[in-house]
Structure 1
Amino acid sequence: MSNLADAVLETHMNLPGQTAFYRGKVRDVYTVGEKLVMVASDRISAFDYVLPRPIPYKGQVLNQVATHFLQATADIVPNWLEAVPDPNVAVGAACEPFKVEMVIRGYLAGHAWREYKSGKRELCGVPMPEGMKESDRFPAPIITPATKAEEGHDEDISREEIIAQGIVSEADYIQLEQYTRALFQRGTEMAAKQGLLLVDTKYEFGKRDGKIYLIDEIHTPDSSRYYYAEGYDERQQQGERQKQLSKEFVREWLMSHGFQGKEGQIMPIMPDAFIEEVSARYIELYERITGLTFERTDTRGIEDRIERNVLAYLKKA
């Protein structure tokens, strides 16, 4: 296991030609000309809050999973990715992002289940059938978009509201829905080959020169939830919790320590043993969903390594 101190909480690069910098919940994004240099840090977020301690190898896992799936879906929709100069870094075309996240759900889980359990039978204007229980499969996947908040919580929004408010034009939104369903179908097929069920996920899109691109990450443990296919039916029949690969277990740990991101709640500090467990879970997820062996990079001086590799790439580009 990596030294717990050898993890990237933040980067502080000053790149040649840099015109902008944005720090998201997990990624540090540098704009250099018409390119984005996106560093996947080891930060972890839950309930729209960044937790105080980073998770070793998490950034590498996220970046390499996203790269794997971006390359595997490039025939469905063009995407922003151009190069991966470091295990934690992706470089690609800067796009003007749509201010919505396209969330698609194949099963009743997570936020959808919490809403359903509270008595709601509609999510983002989409009806949910009566008589469902947690982790049941929807008759067909449902798209439940969310507004992308600069800070704080993303908010559920309906297709009709998105179009009526002019957040996305109707023609573009129809295209986003088509891409979302096709990407989810591909992700479902790829997961099935690895003995997994893709439960729900989200996609982000942007525009460049009038063309829609898939941006950010896809099918990662930060943006997606997976169940193990083996034993799924038996667990459902017996009313047991599904065995899942996602960061839901981090949310559950926080909830068990009295934190759900609500006002007045104090965020608990994750102990070393739990940090190591989270790191191991992310590595397991990488290997399970890609079918590849995770190669731990040397994380000593990781911030210097990232900067060195980015500068070398930009010099050649």
Structure 2
Amino acid sequence: MSAAITETKFQFPGQIGFYKGKVRDVYIFKDKLAVVASDRISAFDVVLPRPIPYKGQVLNQIAAKFLQATSDIVPNWVTSVPHPQVTIGKKCIPFKVEMVIRGYLAGHAAREYKAGKRMICGVSLPDGLNENDKLPRPIITPTTKASEGHDEDISKEDILAKGIVSPEDYAVLEKYTHALFEKGSQMANEKGLILVDTKYEFGKFGDEILLIDEIHTPDSSRYFYADGYKDLQEKGLPQKQLSKEFVRQWLISNGFQGKEGQKVPEMPDSFVQEISERYIELFEKITGDKFVKQGTENLEKNIEKAILNNL
């Protein structure tokens, strides 16, 4: 099993803070952030015990590619990508919502729909839909951005009523979310994929709203293969997908859904390897590029050096 980064604990000149997210280690400076994409993996808002080799590299490089590809329609936070697992960018004040957008009835939305709900995050859905059906139009189903624990579904109306985001800013977030999803869908279609659903996070740098974090990665998005989609839907069969959903399904089948009292099952080496291979498969499929595995010798030192050289 190749080396993998579970966590980093650097100290840099001028560093004023540190934040450990579910997957990322964030080094905070006066006006910039240095973000290390670790090889941690989370599901149901729980970080799983074992890291996944090359996962951080996959996430960071996909995000870098798509942030660059969408920078003409939505400005973003990135200033440099000095290492396959590092991104450096502007220190924004994040909005406390995640903008989830769905083009198909899948994942969490499908589970809610199956349970009888026809209103998700204030958006009404028609009767008669099957799991993985295309929705009449893409819908935004926001969630709160929890510092700890689970993100919660929330409606646009509640976001505005509680003053989480101003009406003026929320209008920009909606506009940007639809524009990004349209661009992401077009890029996926060119590679024989369907962008099913995804999430975007935004923040403010001064008065400017910027796209922050990652976009269109397997951690933040779900993809189906376009070839065979229609046939599988007509037969009521599961879609072949590139996303983290197979990890969630494995956990569910092993008695874990992130609920209180449940214990995370131990992932065998073979499953860890399968996850790694699936992440690499998605990288190559969605970007059209060959994945070049970075050397894992002195990985932490190389990450530290890359950040130091770019401060």
Give TM-score scaled by structure 1 length.
0.97
Once the two structures are superposed, the pairs formed by residues 215-234 of structure 1 within 5 Å of their partners are 215-234=212-231
Distance in 1, Cα, partners of 2:31 & 2:239: 44
Question: In the TM superposition, what are the counterparts of 1:47-62 in structure 2 within 5 Å?
Answer: 47-62=44-59
Q: Report what 2:85 is aligned to.
A: 88
Q: Which moved more, 1:303-312 or 1:126-135?
A: 303-312
Match of 1:53, SS? Answer: coil
Q: How many Å separate the matches in 2 of 1:83 and 1:253?
A: 36
Asked whether the 8 Å contact 1:15–1:32 carries over to 2, the reply is: no
Matched residue type, 1:201: T
Count of residue pairs brought into register by the alignment? 311
The one of 200, 218, 226 aligned to 1:203: 200
Q: Distance in 2 between matches of 1:273 and 1:305?
A: 28
The partner residue of 1:130 within 127, 130, 137 is: 127
CA displacement, residues 150-193 of structure 1 (integer Å, 9 cap, x when unaligned): 00000000000000100000010011000000000000000000
The DSSP-based 3-state class of the residue aligned with 2:180 is helix
State the shift of 1:30 in Å: 0.4
**How big is each residue's C-alpha offset from its partner over 1:104-138, in whole Å with a ceiling of 9 and x where there is no partner?**
00000000000000000010000011100000000
> Partner letter of residue 251 of structure 1?
R
Within 5 Å, which residues of 2 pair with 1:39-78? 39-78=36-75
Structure 2 letter corresponding to 1:228: Y
- The answer (yes or no) to whether the contact 1:48–1:153 under 8 Å persists in 2 is yes
1:78 maps to a residue whose letter is: P
Q: Secondary structure at the match of 1:156?
A: coil
What is the root-mean-square deviation in Å for CA atoms of aligned residues? Answer: 0.6
Question: What is the one-letter code of the residue matched to 1:274?
Answer: F
Counterpart in the other structure of 2:299: 302
Matched with 2:285 is 288
Structure 1 ranges of 4+ moved more than 6 A: none
Displacement, 1:312? 1.7
Deviation at 1:309, TM superposition (A): 1.4
- Structure 1 counterpart SS, 2:149: coil
- What amino acid is aligned across from residue 287 of structure 1 in structure 2? E
Residue aligning to 2:257 = 260
Q: 2:139 aligns with which of 142, 145, 154?
A: 142
Aligned residue type for 2:50: R
1:182 aligned residue (141, 162, 179)? 179
**Unpaired stretches in structure 2, ≥5 consecutive residues:** none
CA distance in 2, matches of 1:133, 1:7: 39
Equivalent-residue separation in structure 2 for 1:21 and 1:144 (angstroms) = 30
**Aligned-pair distance for 1:301?**
2.1
More deviation in 302-311 or 277-286? Answer: 302-311
1:33 CA displacement:
2.2
Distance 2:89 2:205 in 1: 12
For normalisation by structure 2, the TM-score amounts to 0.99
